[in-house]
Structure 1
């Protein structure tokens, strides 16, 4: 203790100089004598005030000699340097993980202790760090104080703004050690890594399915036991997994806390955001071994494989029709029930499927999101683009077994077949006239438009 003769009367801490003791006492008294003349913020120490002033002046006098990044504070520069040196001097005594910054180690420790002392007064959610609580509060207040100086987009969290900025700078700091691919976000890298791993050491004893993580196996087991211990307090619905219950709750609250950094679209579930992000990144790591088609998601590849295997496990109990996907069966069922719950707010037309309504809306907005890479022509629907592409390729893979005529699309072949069968499956709801092709029915309907403006 030699050389430290000044002691704090409150906590007993020793100091070598009296001035240091006086500065320390402010942590007990709460004195903040140094005020910012710009915004009025107060600080206990002058050095903190000087650091704060850079937020107004924009000065960044501390530059990195490696990558030329500039920082307002020297301490921030020192932390940044660890990204180049790779130094991780702070180790966790529990699991041995190492970190470049002590603050990151302290955050990591909460994964072992489970402490979450910071609670939200609105919904009761608890967080290990106060910063996480503050970020969470924006989901209730709707505040988005962090704005992008390039495009004007606003975000609730500064970290989200920083990630968004990469869409302008093109920075992709997260690299795959296997193939060298780079990504703007860490979770995109983690998702990409699954294309290399392939290990699924955890097997289900009931059906033999394998999983990469034990937690996923445990969740899978509920499909066999049927347990649904997690109930919704609003509508009483029960779920096998707590995460599924939390996702379900967004249908009652309307919360969409997961925002896309590129186009600012918001989603209730992170998984939906991840799926949406592939529309910007263009990543399609899952390839079909039969025809080489690539897909952004493994589930999409699985659905695609039914086009090769011909499996149609989902059958309609009314007419016996079979479908490769359950979603297609659900859509088909509306042909029996006649339900059209999705209505157009512009013209009042109703549709059985939401996707059909969304496509219909383009007739009002004029939106044509599907563009031809060859000639630049744009189309409102993807099917129209695919049909248009045959004008460049000349492909006509669909042949008529009766007369040998070939067609670019299967739907055109089916229409053509009516010339042989005489079928007229499309009937007018107004006068009962029947037509072999839907396009002719649509043209015919226009003759009744004056009688019923809601006909589509």
Structure 2
């Protein structure tokens, strides 16, 4: 509607009184002065010309704005004499004290005898009796008595009239839209007077203050547990009833909250609604996005760090107070200076440095750093693997794990090193590459030989070399290995499995490194160069064997005739002379040979004859 004026909306009241009054054309309420009528008419038209310069909230009149500004002041001057609750206004204390005295409120509805503390609340209530409809739908012009009815009506249109211009998110209320827009601007106008923390809404700040006062006004009648919000208490009652009303339709998992179910469903859909404003990276959880955004603000140096094997982790010896202007207490890792809000999170993090894995699987006895990782692992034994790879039919618990696996088949490498332009499939591989190759950072050092490693796991495996222990044994040929991955690759020799296939000649290999070395025969790439004679090689092993030519070193010696060789494979071929073993057989004439190169030379004779 246009701006309200007293002339346009006034109709003279009839009566015997000589005093001149003006009345409202909507509700026939009479006023002595036109200026009071103008203010009153704004309650009907919705016009709010007086705006708060702190929170931009609008009001019908200047006195209401003035009273509202008091709420931005931290100090509440007026205190209840009975329960010591504080208020910004004197009238608010008087209204509150009636709760203790039992005195009935001043305003009474004449139609249903209901009482109200404020005249405005009673007037709003009487609209229900009069069936007056003040709220109009902007889409179909249908009218409603209450705002909640209008909001429910909008769902029929499947539309929310207030839309955000930045992210296309829509809302039923304009105030909700304004609060949402603060997430884009990162504006937090409400500050806690105790710890200087900032909040987007006043309700969030009030809720936060309960932390300082240890105040939990809502108490469970069954277990006496306290809560800062009524909705938390309501949710808590479902624990006693053993009810989890929100169930996932894909995996039958149930939750107490609808929000928790919504977050869980993202593990099935792979939806990542939260996007970093700096690098546009997406996240499934807002907490992960916030943690990521801090990496753009502060980048701590990882150089000149040394790590050693630690005893069992506890919080007390490992904490050091973080320096800064904020009063929030934070705990800091003494190895990598990473900060944590809670000591329990630091304890879990420290296990990544010490290698401690206190949570063990009862089925396969595999150890994990945290309970959440163990719970995720146990689903493998339960058979809860719903996501299947279309190429190799391998199954996974979540769509995130499936996407990581699929990169093996597509050879997709999205993570690029900014120093050498090398690409990697996982971010962890990239971080390890930067630390190991470019920074030469090997924080885990062997105390026996001084050799350094980028990861504690590699140091642990290296200790097996000194102890001459090979814990991973093959159950078919009694061959043993230092690593589980090496044993898995070896077992494919017995099963005949060759999962890694060349996309040019379709030749298959038991290990990924074999496929990579083979692909260089097609591309002609020779990345390993000898520093002495500049000769290049396709594999690291052939370069190492070649370098022995310059040093005249022959480390592999026959234990029968004491003849020495530069390569282990050459020694194995030589030892077959003593044993008489001929493991390589021609497929055409079934003739046996000591080494593979002689067999291939022989097979060419059959091809030339045919």
Taking structure 1 as the reference length, what is the TM-score of the superposition?
Answer: 0.52
Greater CA radius of gyration, 1 or 2? 2
Structure 1 counterpart of 2:431 = 274
Give the 3 Å change call, closer, same or farther, for CA 295–200 of structure 1 in structure 2. closer
Instruction: Please point out which of 441, 444, 450 is paired with 2:599.
Output: 441
Shift of 1:386: 0.6
Structure 2 counterpart of 1:141 = none
Shift of 1:206: 9.8
Instruction: Please point out which of 2, 7, 13 is paired with 2:51.
Output: 13
Give the 3 Å change call, closer, same or farther, for CA 409–358 of structure 1 in structure 2. same
CA displacement 1:356-390 (0-9 Å, x = unmatched): 22211111111111122333321101110110111
Supply the distance in 1 between the matched residues of 2:375 and 2:432 (Cα, whole angstroms): 25
Structure 2 counterpart of 1:136 = 282
Give the 3 Å change call, closer, same or farther, for CA 198–10 of structure 1 in structure 2. same
Give the 3 Å change call, closer, same or farther, for CA 414–322 of structure 1 in structure 2. same
Structure 2 counterpart of 1:359 = 517
Supply the distance in 2 between the matched residues of 1:257 and 1:10 (Cα, whole angstroms): 56
Question: What is the 5 A alignment of 1:60-79?
Answer: none
Would you say the 8 A contact 2:276–2:282 is kept in 1?
Answer: no
Structure 2 counterpart of 1:314 = 472
Pairing 1:409–2:570 present: no
Structure 2 counterpart of 1:248 = 402
CA displacement 1:33-87 (0-9 Å, x = unmatched): xxxxxxxxxxxxxxxxxxxxxxxxxxxxxxxxxxxxxxxxxxxxxxxxxxxxxxx
Supply the distance in 1 between the matched residues of 2:386 and 2:529 (Cα, whole angstroms): 46
Would you say the 8 A contact 1:127–1:133 is kept in 2?
Answer: no
Supply the distance in 1 between the matched residues of 2:502 and 2:432 (Cα, whole angstroms): 26
Would you say the 8 A contact 1:340–1:350 is kept in 2?
Answer: yes
Structure 1 counterpart of 2:582 = 424
Give the 3 Å change call, closer, same or farther, for CA 286–129 of structure 1 in structure 2. same
Instruction: Please point out which of 362, 365, 370 is paired with 1:217.
Output: 370
Structure 2 counterpart of 1:175 = 301
Structure 2 counterpart of 1:184 = none
Q: Secondary structure at the match of 1:387?
A: helix
Would you say the 8 A contact 1:424–1:434 is kept in 2?
Answer: yes
Supply the distance in 1 between the matched residues of 2:460 and 2:423 (Cα, whole angstroms): 27
Question: What is the 5 A alignment of 1:342-353?
Answer: 342-353=500-511
Shift of 1:10: 4.4
Supply the distance in 1 between the matched residues of 2:302 and 2:501 (Cα, whole angstroms): 46
Would you say the 8 A contact 1:229–1:238 is kept in 2?
Answer: no
Q: Secondary structure at the match of 1:361?
A: helix
Structure 2 counterpart of 1:3 = none
Give the 3 Å change call, closer, same or farther, for CA 288–449 of structure 1 in structure 2. farther
Would you say the 8 A contact 2:356–2:369 is kept in 1?
Answer: no
Give the 3 Å change call, closer, same or farther, for CA 352–227 of structure 1 in structure 2. closer
Pairing 1:260–2:386 present: no
Structure 2 counterpart of 1:48 = none
Structure 1 counterpart of 2:539 = 381
Q: Secondary structure at the match of 2:504?
A: coil
Choose 333-342 or 360-369, whichever is displaced more.
Answer: 333-342
Q: Number of residues paired by the alignment?
A: 329
Q: Secondary structure at the match of 1:175?
A: coil
Supply the distance in 2 between the matched residues of 1:324 and 1:309 (Cα, whole angstroms): 11
Question: What is the 5 A alignment of 1:144-183?
Answer: 174-176=300-302
Give the 3 Å change call, closer, same or farther, for CA 334–205 of structure 1 in structure 2. closer
Would you say the 8 A contact 2:275–2:281 is kept in 1?
Answer: no
Supply the distance in 2 between the matched residues of 1:92 and 1:277 (Cα, whole angstroms): 42
Supply the distance in 2 between the matched residues of 1:446 and 1:391 (Cα, whole angstroms): 31
Would you say the 8 A contact 1:232–1:245 is kept in 2?
Answer: no
Gaps of 5+ in 1: 1-8, 17-28, 33-89, 138-158, 164-171, 181-187
Would you say the 8 A contact 2:379–2:385 is kept in 1?
Answer: no
Supply the distance in 1 between the matched residues of 2:369 and 2:523 (Cα, whole angstroms): 43
CA displacement 1:380-425 (0-9 Å, x = unmatched): 0111011011123332222222222222333222222223222222
Structure 1 counterpart of 2:387 = 234
Question: What is the 5 A alignment of 1:283-322?
Answer: 283-322=441-480
Choose 375-384 or 418-427, whichever is displaced more.
Answer: 418-427
Structure 1 counterpart of 2:119 = none
Shift of 1:433: 2.6
RMSD over aligned Cα atoms: 5.8
Structure 1 counterpart of 2:271 = 125
